Amino acid sequence: MTLVALLVTLCSTLLGHPTVRWVDHPAASFLGGDGTRTRLVDASRPGLVATEEWARDETIGILSSGPEAFGYWTNVAGVDPLSVGFARRTTTVTGDGAPSRTDVLMTIETDGVRTTVVQGAGPALVFSPGVLTLVADVAPGRRWTSAGVARTFADGRLSAPSPYEADHVAAAAADPGFRDRGCLDVVESERVGGASPRRSVSTWCPGQGVVASDDGSSRLRTGIVSPTPPGEDDTDFDWSTAERLAWATLPVSHIGLSLVNQSPVAPPGVLPDGTLVFANRIDRDLVAVRAQRTAEPSLWRARPGGGITTAATLGTVTVAVTSERRVVAYGPDGQWLWTTPVTDIGRVPPQAFAGGVLVSTIDGVVQLLDRNDGTVRWRYRTPGELRLAPVVASGALIVADQSGQLARVDADGREVWSVGHTKPLQVAVAGDTVVVSPHAGSLVSAFRFDDGGPAWQLRPDSALTDILAIDGVLVSRSSDDVQGLDPSTGDVLWRRPLVALGIAGGGNRLLVVSDSGLTILEPATGRTLVERPHGLGALSRTSFFVSSGGGRLVVSTSGKAAVGSLP
């Protein structure tokens, strides 16, 4: 199957065409479940931690997250990719120099589980047919052999084939703790071409995957270990540089011949080095992309488990909220940091607050998690659903739920005041004033930040879609203009006839996004500082996001990203 044919098939699959079912045999039961994670340690190498994470899929959609060798495997697979199930096993090693990762693509076929692609730091190894890692009827005493050809893959090319042979034998796990759980030790001896045989022992446990391994260079087994604390958090973008940014519009899906395809559920994260992290709805993966790289644009991928309902990158930490009601955090190299259960799914991207991670779920719970290990510092509950992000202002939160309650919550989770109001559409805090634009109707109300008392009300000419507080000015957009308001009175300070599709900003700069391009305004006066095209097409016809981080400002769709950075 050519890559072009695979792209067509992939699109058909993702659009809802029938999928295959996983083959049901004993071998498949030893694979980790979707989103399963295990930490392993080497007692002889203190500080070294390996994390195993599994992704399971019934369709070839799993290939769209990379690495590229996974897609090229279909050209030499020797099996119909639509007739097998898939598993991805990702091992990330930290604490022993620079982080390293290995992605392994496995197929679940009638004769067992086969390893088809191994992508480490160097060229990938692509096997055809795949190495029979677990025979279908695997059990203690079972022996089996597989053979075929192996090719290396690098820079978009497959090498000439070399023969391979692999011998396996299974036994009950030598470790009593593993043996009592029905685990197996599988000894593998593999030879590729004229190379010396490579011998390894892996302990496989039902539903968990590999829980121990010995390849001669390291002896790993599951262990209790604290996650490596992430680097210092730096989520702020210096908006005063906005008019000096140099912009480039780059593809983020199907870069070159890449199968990488984005279907974001939230604004992409921006890591300090400029890497974009997409939280995707269709393939259910977090995918880190360096759009400038055409040969291997996806740097890493991770499967939080279930569907991703929202996500955010806060400095060096990427946090995903899943349909399984979990918050899963990853470091800048895709290494798993921690997992914390929550009471419901989230629609609001996590936020940085008080040195921690603020997570809001639709059942009305706001909780602050420790950034290093995910432990809960405090919880605050509202009477209604939460579909708006709490507003961070002066070291406190303004929380507005769908029942109409508006509350100020301090950094320790204590409620300072709450007032009843109508169902909100947008909330902003400018100075000592909290402004609420209603979900229905056009009466905008303001409250005092200190005690929640009423400040003023305003009925604008047309309903306000967005409101932001920037540089002491309340900025809003309607269907045909952008305007600046005095937050203390609601009086109009300036008005610009701009058909804005979205606004964002901070410090003393305002970004206006339209079909024609990007405009940077001065919030205090509405004066235009710079205008430029974005190269993203008609944004009024598609979803787009604005995000920032790592000294970069990004406006993106599922296919392209306009990235602004200092020259």
- Give residue-wise pLDDT tens across range 422-451: 889 899 999 899 999 887 667 889 999 999
* pLDDT at site 200: 96
* pLDDT at site 20: 41
Share above pLDDT 70 across residues of the chain, in percent, rounded to a whole number: 93
* pLDDT at site 48: 87
Tell which wins on pLDDT, 549 or 8: 549
> Helix (H, G, I), strand (E, B), or coil: what is residue 131?
strand
| Paired tokens of 186 | 């599988």
Domain count of the chain? 1
Measured at the alpha carbon of residue 262, what is the angle toward residues 259 and 263, in degrees to the nearest 5?
135
pLDDT band of 14, cuts 50, 70, 90: very low
* pLDDT at site 438: 85
Query: Is there a domain that residue 406 lies in?
Result: no
- Give residue-wise pLDDT tens across range 253-308: 987 777 889 999 999 999 999 999 999 999 999 999 998 877 788 999 999 999 99
Strands 219-222 and 560-565, sheet pairing? unpaired
The amino acid sitting at 139 is A
pLDDT band of 458, cuts 50, 70, 90: confident
Torsion of CA 437, 438, 440, 443, to 10 degrees: -70
**Res 11 pLDDT > 70:** no
Whether the upstream peptide bond of residue 350 has omega within 30° of 0, thus cis, is no
How far is Cα 477 from Cα 496, in angstroms, rounded to an integer? 9
Residue 118: domain span: 3-222
pLDDT band of 228, cuts 50, 70, 90: low
Query: Is there a domain that residue 122 lies in?
Result: yes
Query: Is there a domain that residue 269 lies in?
Result: no
Exposed e or buried b per residue across 444-478, where buried means at least 16 C-beta atoms within 10 angstroms of its C-beta: bbbbebeebeebbebebeebbbbbbbbbebbbbbb
**CA count, 13 A, side-chain hemisphere, 4:** 0
**Res 8 pLDDT > 90:** no
Q: What is the mean pLDDT of the chain?
A: 91
How far is Cα 284 from Cα 308, in angstroms, rounded to an integer? 6
**Res 531 pLDDT > 60:** yes
How far is Cα 98 from Cα 317, in angstroms, rounded to an integer? 17
- Give residue-wise pLDDT tens across range 540-564: 999 999 999 988 999 999 999 999 9
Query: Is there a domain that residue 456 lies in?
Result: no
Strands 317-322 and 308-314, sheet pairing? antiparallel
**CA count, 13 A, side-chain hemisphere, 238:** 9
* pLDDT at site 441: 61
**Res 243 pLDDT > 70:** yes
Strand partners, 487: none
Neighbours of 167 (CB within 10 A): 16
**Res 248 pLDDT > 90:** yes
| Paired tokens of 253 | 């899906």
The amino acid sitting at 426 is Q
Query: Is there a domain that residue 499 lies in?
Result: no
Tell which wins on pLDDT, 513 or 96: 513
How far is Cα 534 from Cα 556, in angstroms, rounded to an integer? 10
**Res 206 pLDDT > 70:** yes
- Give residue-wise pLDDT tens across range 370-411: 999 999 999 999 999 999 999 999 999 999 999 999 999 999
Q: What is the mean pLDDT of residues 136-140?
A: 97
Q: What is the mean pLDDT of residues 60-74?
A: 91
pLDDT band of 225, cuts 50, 70, 90: confident
* pLDDT at site 443: 85
pLDDT band of 466, cuts 50, 70, 90: confident
Query: Is there a domain that residue 309 lies in?
Result: no
* pLDDT at site 292: 80
* pLDDT at site 244: 95
Q: What is the mean pLDDT of residues 487-491?
A: 90
**Res 107 pLDDT > 90:** yes
* pLDDT at site 495: 94
Q: How far is CA 321 from CA 280, 353, 463, in A?
A: 12, 17, 32
pLDDT band of 337, cuts 50, 70, 90: very high
* pLDDT at site 259: 81
**Res 17 pLDDT > 70:** no
**In 3D, which of 169, 5, 15 has the Cα closest to residue 72?**
5
Query: Is there a domain that residue 407 lies in?
Result: no
Exposed e or buried b per residue across 332-356, where buried means at least 16 C-beta atoms within 10 angstroms of its C-beta: bbbbbbbbbebebbbbbbbbbbbeb
- DSSP per-residue string spanning 492-509: EEEEE----SEEEEETTE
Q: How far is CA 183 from CA 28, 105, 169, 416, in A?
A: 13, 22, 14, 54
Neighbours of 121 (CB within 10 A): 8
* pLDDT at site 15: 41
Query: Is there a domain that residue 22 lies in?
Result: yes
- Give residue-wise pLDDT tens across range 148-165: 999 999 988 999 999 999
Share above pLDDT 90 across residues of the chain, in percent, rounded to a whole number: 78
How far is Cα 155 from Cα 157, in angstroms, rounded to an integer? 6
Whether residue 563 contacts residue 551, with contact meaning beta carbons closer than 8 Å, is answered with: no
